[in-house]
């Protein structure tokens, strides 16, 4: 109800605010046809002969005459514009200026004015009507924006040609409505080529799709997978406003997929995105059946792009996410933290669908049991052979994946001279290709390239094309098409004794297969050690690996502990051809390494000069901040620093062909005497490339003296400079 309902309509008109409010009441709140507000821009024509106006004018103290010309604006529009004065009597011929209470519009004129200007612009009509036809809106606008009547000059009479109805600006109204419907802040995608590179399309009609949508929605909606757990959504403007769009975003969130960006595009662009994915899928080597396997592949491809050697999935019950780490250049860096549910599905799908036949221990992934398998996979057009090893932990589990070369047709063999060995060591390796019988044993920690070097030794075997070669691995890792490779799977419930018994049975069968030489992946127990000794002592060259921390430690394990080989076999000249111990060390980036004198303590540098006789002027240390040549954006330490400062790895190694004097010490278990015999064969200083009689530690010192590796790595991960024991050389000198 209006506040003016009790005010009489025929009250004498006076100048002031109250009269303006009264005019507003009469024009907008009075019932009947005259109270209807015409459409803006389409004005009724007021004729002088209009009887309601005459009747009303007769009742006024002063008569009001209205010209027959059409009026340019209604009273409501004048109120909104603030162009209002109180009612005054004017001479004939002037434009009448009165209140809305003095006006009665014929019903036929109101109906004529209410007709739309064009049937093609209903939206514009509604928009304008919404703006001006609401009484509350007009009241508010009038009370807040209208200036005082005393400040408004009287309007001059308008020319006849300007007293026509103002045209409606239909274009402006349409543009305004369009802007109101556009999603605020969403970028436009004009071409499929402008979309960032993506892995796959997530929304399909298949049951195993990450997001299941209808065929009709595919015309206006698409979600693409940028990387593991991250997506971009592209939709039409119309579909963006529907409830289905919000539902699909929630479905993606439930699938542990975060939407990084939402974009608006036409149906043609969305169809082009689906078409590009279809064309790419037609040329794919391995079909991607599910989102889970796609996530697994994404991580593998990322690791190969960083030239990583291992991938660690660290699942912990007490953490909300799974940390995925890559080993690059010998160090572990965090790649990403991923949702637990996504990781479980990815690992389960990969183990069940991708593993190579006869290499897996179990048909399904079981986090509560140790499992191993081999997975052939294509990543960045390279064939990989992935060694899977998982183990349960307190409060979770770990899955470690070793990335190996898997291309059997175009295989690559990394030869010893490419691994960082010196000339004196290469001479020993070359001589091992021309032996009859005996065993070559390599020791070292996990990931020290023992298998890589064993493979190279087999490849370099003299007259290889005329020989029958075998290899036994648990499981097989690298492609070795020049020989017959036997891979031994292991069940999750299998004990060590059962697994070793299978390996022993395979080796026994190979002894009747007319072998020329055999490579055994690892000596694990007494039975396998005995078979290796039997092969070696019967004229078959054998290569194998053994877990030990030094060359002397390997002899100690052969003669005692779990292996317990007869001492007369261990000390035989026909048994051990060569014994080695090796370690991979990160190589400094040549572009940003810093002089050791700038970062290392003076006491350490002085110790390197006095104790080892090294020239420290060429030594360098790692720059943790790195440079454009070595920084690896996307990989971080756990402290948050970007991986940087190193470029590749090099092999430090001690390699020795036992002498008769050395074996004499071994025969009586004189381990210290045997070590002294070996290390007393040294003929050069620690800054010399000749590795005769030198340990793995001393080989690393030589590499540090050339500025290839960081000397701090030796002091921190191998043994401190002050604790290391130096032996005299062949001439009795401690430092040459």
Strand 382-393 with 396-405, pairing: antiparallel
Residue 481 vs residue 111, higher pLDDT: 481
* Statement: residue 364 has pLDDT above 90: no
pLDDT at 488: 81
Q: Rounded to whole angstroms, how far apart are CA atoms 701 and 596?
A: 14
**Could you tell me the two tokens for 394?**
């307190």
* Predicted pLDDT at 136: 45
DSSP code per residue over 335-371: EEEEEHHHHHHHHHHHHHHTSPTT--SSSS--TTS-E
Q: Which of 11-25, 63-77, 457-471 has the highest mean pLDDT?
A: 457-471
| 3-state helix/strand/coil string of 96-143 | CCCCHHHCCCCHHHHHHHHCCCCCCCHHHHHHHHHHHCCHHHHHHHHH
Confidence tier at 734 by pLDDT (50, 70, 90): confident
116 pLDDT band (50/70/90 cuts)?
very low
pLDDT higher than 60, residue 96: no
Half-sphere exposure of 447 (CA within 13 A, CB side): 18
* C-beta neighbour count of 274 within 10 angstroms: 17
Mean pLDDT, residues 556-562: 86
Confidence of residue 95 (pLDDT cuts 50, 70, 90): very low
Confidence of residue 376 (pLDDT cuts 50, 70, 90): confident
- Gap between the Cα atoms of 387 and 379, Å rounded: 15
Which among 34-48, 129-143, 226-240, 395-409 has the top mean pLDDT?
A: 395-409
Confidence of residue 76 (pLDDT cuts 50, 70, 90): low
Q: What is the mean pLDDT of residues 163-167?
A: 45
Q: How many CB atoms lie within 10 A of CB 462?
A: 12
- pLDDT the model gives residue 78: 54
What is the rounded average pLDDT of the residues 523-528?
Answer: 88
For 270-323, the pLDDT digits (tens) are: 999 988 877 765 554 444 446 788 889 999 999 999 999 999 999 999 999 999
Among 491, 556, 488, 552, residue whose Cα is nearest residue 522? 488
Q: What percent of the chain has pLDDT over 70?
A: 71
Q: Long-range contacts of range 190-198, CB-CB < 8 Å, 24 or more positions apart?
A: 190/265, 190/269, 191/269, 191/272, 192/269, 192/272, 192/273, 192/275, 192/276, 195/224, 195/232, 195/234, 195/263, 195/273, 196/226, 196/232, 197/226, 198/224, 198/225, 198/226, 198/232
Secondary structure class of 422 (helix, strand, coil): coil
Q: How far apart are CA 67 and CA 94, in angstroms?
A: 8
SS3 of residue 261 by DSSP: strand
Report the pLDDT value the prediction gives residue 541, as an integer from 0 to 100. Answer: 92
Q: What is the pLDDT of residue 583?
A: 95
Q: Is 545 exposed, middle or buried (0-12, 13-18, 19+ CB in 10 A)?
A: buried
pLDDT for 18 beyond 60: no
Spatial distance between the Cα atoms of 34 and 26, rounded to a whole number of angstroms: 9
Alpha carbons 353 and 365: distance in angstroms, whole number = 10
Count CB atoms within 10 A of the CB of residue 191.
Answer: 11
Task: Count Cβ atoms below 10 Å from residue 207 Cβ, excluding itself.
Answer: 7
List for the chain the helix, strand, coil content (%; round to 5): 35, 20, 45
Confidence of residue 260 (pLDDT cuts 50, 70, 90): confident
pLDDT at 502: 83
Asked if 235 and 245 count as a contact pair (C-beta separation under 8 A), the reply is: yes
Q: In the structure, what pLDDT confidence band is assigned to residue 576 with cuts at 50, 70 and 90?
A: very high
What average pLDDT does the segment 131-150 reach?
A: 42
Mean pLDDT within 558-578: 90
pLDDT classification of 679: cutoffs 50, 70, 90: very high
Report whether 581 contacts 557 (CB < 8 A): no
Asked if residue 62 has pLDDT above 50, the reply is no
When pLDDT is averaged across residues 51-71 and rounded to a whole number, the result is 45
Q: Which segments of 203-266 does DSSP mark as H helices, in order?
A: 237-240, 243-254
CA 619, CA 728: separation in Å to the nearest integer?
24
Q: Mean pLDDT in the chain? A: 78
Whether the CB-CB separation of 273 and 222 falls below 8 Å is answered with yes
pLDDT tens-digit series, residues 181-203: 445 578 888 888 888 777 778 88
Confidence of residue 361 (pLDDT cuts 50, 70, 90): confident
pLDDT for 552 beyond 90: yes
Phi, psi of 315 (to 5 degrees): -95, 125
Q: In the predicted model, what is the mean pLDDT of residues 333-338?
A: 95
Higher pLDDT, 388 or 169: 388
CA distances from 270 to 208, 219, 220, 240 (A): 22, 7, 7, 13
Question: CB neighbours (10 Å) of residue 276?
Answer: 16
Please report the pLDDT score of residue 228 as a whole number.
62
Averaged pLDDT, 211-222: 89
At 446 the pLDDT is: 85
Instruction: Specify which of 194-208, 243-257, 339-353 reaches the highest per-range mean pLDDT.
Output: 339-353
Q: Supply the DSSP symbol for 409.
A: S
Q: How confident is the model at residue 736 (pLDDT cuts 50, 70, 90)?
A: low
pLDDT digits (tens, 9 = 90+) for 538-548: 889 999 999 88
Residues belonging to the chain: 736
**With contact defined as beta carbons under 8 Å apart, do 413 and 405 qualify?**
no
Radius of gyration of the chain (CA): 45
Percent of the chain, pLDDT > 90? 45
Answer yes or no: is pLDDT of 252 > 80. Answer: yes
3-state secondary structure of 223: strand
544 near 457, Cβ under 8 Å? no
Please tell me the predicted confidence (pLDDT) of residue 35. Answer: 41
What integer pLDDT is reported at residue 69 of this predicted model? 47
Look at residue 261 in the predicted model and tell me its pLDDT: 87
Q: How far is CA 665 from CA 404, 563, 570, in A?
A: 40, 19, 11
Identify each DSSP E strand in 499-607 by its residue range.
Answer: 517-520, 542-546, 576-588, 594-595
Q: Hey, is 76 helix, strand or coil?
A: helix
């Amino acid at each position: 109800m209006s506040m003016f309902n009790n005010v009489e309509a025929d009250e004498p008109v006076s100048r002031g605010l109250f009269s303006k409010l009264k005019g507003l009441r009469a024009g907008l709140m009075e019932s009947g046809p005259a109270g209807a507000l015409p459409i803006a821009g389409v004005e009724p024509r007021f004729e002088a002969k209009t009887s309601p106006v005459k009747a009303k004018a007769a009742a006024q103290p002063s008569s009001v005459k209205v010209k027959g010309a059409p009026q340019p604006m209604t009273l409501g529009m004048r109120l909104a514009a603030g162009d209002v004065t109180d009612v005054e009597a004017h001479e004939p011929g002037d434009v009448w200026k009165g209140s809305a209470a003095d006006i009665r519009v014929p019903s036929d004129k109101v109906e004529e004015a209410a007709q739309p200007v064009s049937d093609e612009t209903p939206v514009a009509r509604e928009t304008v009507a919404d703006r001006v036809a609401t009484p509350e809106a007009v009241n508010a606008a009038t009370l807040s924006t209208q200036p005082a009547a005393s400040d408004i000059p009287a309007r001059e009479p308008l020319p006849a040609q300007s007293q026509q109805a103002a045209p409606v600006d239909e274009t402006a109204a349409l543009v305004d409505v369009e802007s109101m419907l556009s999603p605020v802040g969403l970028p436009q995608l004009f071409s499929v080529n402008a979309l960032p590179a993506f892995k796959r399309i997530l929304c399909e009609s298949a049951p195993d799709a990450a997001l299941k949508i209808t065929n009709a929605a595919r015309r206006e909606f698409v979600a693409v997978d940028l990387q593991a757990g991250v997506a971009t959504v592209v939709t039409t403007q119309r579909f963006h406003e529907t409830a289905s769009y919000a539902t699909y975003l929630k479905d993606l969130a439930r699938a542990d997929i975060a939407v990084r960006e939402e974009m608006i595009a036409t149906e043609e662009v969305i169809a082009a995105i689906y078409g590009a994915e279809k064309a790419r899928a037609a040329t794919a080597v391995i079909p991607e059946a599910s989102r889970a396997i796609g996530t697994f592949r994404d991580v593998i491809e990322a690791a190969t792009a960083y030239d990583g050697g291992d991938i660690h999935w660290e699942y912990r019950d007490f953490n909300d996410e799974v940390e995925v780490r890559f080993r690059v250049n010998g160090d572990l860096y965090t790649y990403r933290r991923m949702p637990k549910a996504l990781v479980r599905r990815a690992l389960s799908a990969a183990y069940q669908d991708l593993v190579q036949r006869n290499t897996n221990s179990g048909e399904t992934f079981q986090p509560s049991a140790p499992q191993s398998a081999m997975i052939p996979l294509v990543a960045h057009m390279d064939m990989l052979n992935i060694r899977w090893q998982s183990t349960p932990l307190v409060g979770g589990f770990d899955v470690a994946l070793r990335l190996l070369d898997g291309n059997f047709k175009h295989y690559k063999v990394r030869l010893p001279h490419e691994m960082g060995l010196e000339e004196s060591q290469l001479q020993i390796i070359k001589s091992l290709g021309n032996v009859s019988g005996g065993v070559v044993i390599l020791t070292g920690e996990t990931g020290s390239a023992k298998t890589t070097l064993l493979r190279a030794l087999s490849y370099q075997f003299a007259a290889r094309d005329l020989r029958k070669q075998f290899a036994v691995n648990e499981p097989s890792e690298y492609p070795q098409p020049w020989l017959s490779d036997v891979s031994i799977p292991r069940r999750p419930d299998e004990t060590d004794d059962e697994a070793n018994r299978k390996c022993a049975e395979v080796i026994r069968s190979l002894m009747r297969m007319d072998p020329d030489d055999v490579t055994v992946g690892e000596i694990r127990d007494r039975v396998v050690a005995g078979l290796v000794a039997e092969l070696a002592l019967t004229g078959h060259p054998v290569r194998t690996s053994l877990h030990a921390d030094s060359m002397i430690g390997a002899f100690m394990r052969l003669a005692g502990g779990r292996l317990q080989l007869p001492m007369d076999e261990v000390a035989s000249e026909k048994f051990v051809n060569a014994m080695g111990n090796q370690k991979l060390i990160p190589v400094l980036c040549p572009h940003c390494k810093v002089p050791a004198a700038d970062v290392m303590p003076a006491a350490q540098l002085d110790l390197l000069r006095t104790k080892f006789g090294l020239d420290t002027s060429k030594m360098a240390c790692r720059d943790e901040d790195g440079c454009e040549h070595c920084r690896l954006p996307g990989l971080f330490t756990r402290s948050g620093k970007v991986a940087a400062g190193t470029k590749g790895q090099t092999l430090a190694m001690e390699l020795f062909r036992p002498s008769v004097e050395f074996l004499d010490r071994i025969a009586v278990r004189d381990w210290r005497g045997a070590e002294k015999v070996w290390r007393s064969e040294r003929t050069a200083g620690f800054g010399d490339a000749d590795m005769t009689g030198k340990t793995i530690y001393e080989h690393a010192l030589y590499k540090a003296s050339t500025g290839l590796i960081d000397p701090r790595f030796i002091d921190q991960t191998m043994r401190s400079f002050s604790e290391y024991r130096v032996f005299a050389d062949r001439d009795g000198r401690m430092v040459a």
